[in-house]
Amino acid sequence: MRLRIPAVAVEAILAHAAETAPDECCGLLVGTRDRIRRAVRTRNIRSGRDRYLVDPAEHFAARRAARAEGLAVVGAYHSHPRGSLQPSAVDLAEAFEIGFMYVIAGPASAGCRGDVAGYRFTGPGFEALGLEIEPD
């Protein structure tokens, strides 16, 4: 399955990850089942290098704003500042909503701003999604 995401959203996710490194960043993905419209930064209230938790007040605010536009919060993003683009054991243990999408930002290195990968939670695990990055 493919997930469309605008380049500006990918850049925002990578910038957020770079700013918070070496800690994880997190945010929400607003859009529809097959297309992300935007990434919304949120505060990581469980700050640390291998954990994240979106601030519930910011999550509810993003849901209200998305609903007003006929959209929904369909996923979340976070970074793996020292790890791979694969979901971790912690990601699997803390995932809870089947169909929820996850974008993981990998570490930047040697002049590279990093990379992203997309997944959909299936219940027993994650399904890799091909990210189709749309030009602005």
Answer whether residue 50 shows pLDDT above 90: no
Is 134 labeled as catalytic in the residue annotation? no
Question: What is the pLDDT at residue 111?
Answer: 55
In this structure, is the dihedral angle defined by the CA atoms of residues 31, 88, 132 and 15, taken in order, positive or negative? positive
Which of the following CATH numbers is that of domain 2-115: 3.20.20.80, 3.40.140.10, 3.30.1490.20, 3.40.50.300? 3.40.140.10
Question: What is the pLDDT at residue 8?
Answer: 97
Share of the chain above pLDDT 90, in %: 79
Phi, psi of 45 (to 5 degrees): -85, 0
Whole-model pTM: value is: 0.94
Question: What is the pLDDT at residue 88?
Answer: 93
Taking every pair of Cα atoms in the chain, the longest distance, rounded to a whole number of angstroms, is: 42
Give the pLDDT confidence of 87-98 residue by residue, as tens digits. 999 999 999 999
Q: Which of 11, 24, 94, 97 is catalytic?
A: 24
Answer whether residue 75 shows pLDDT above 70: yes
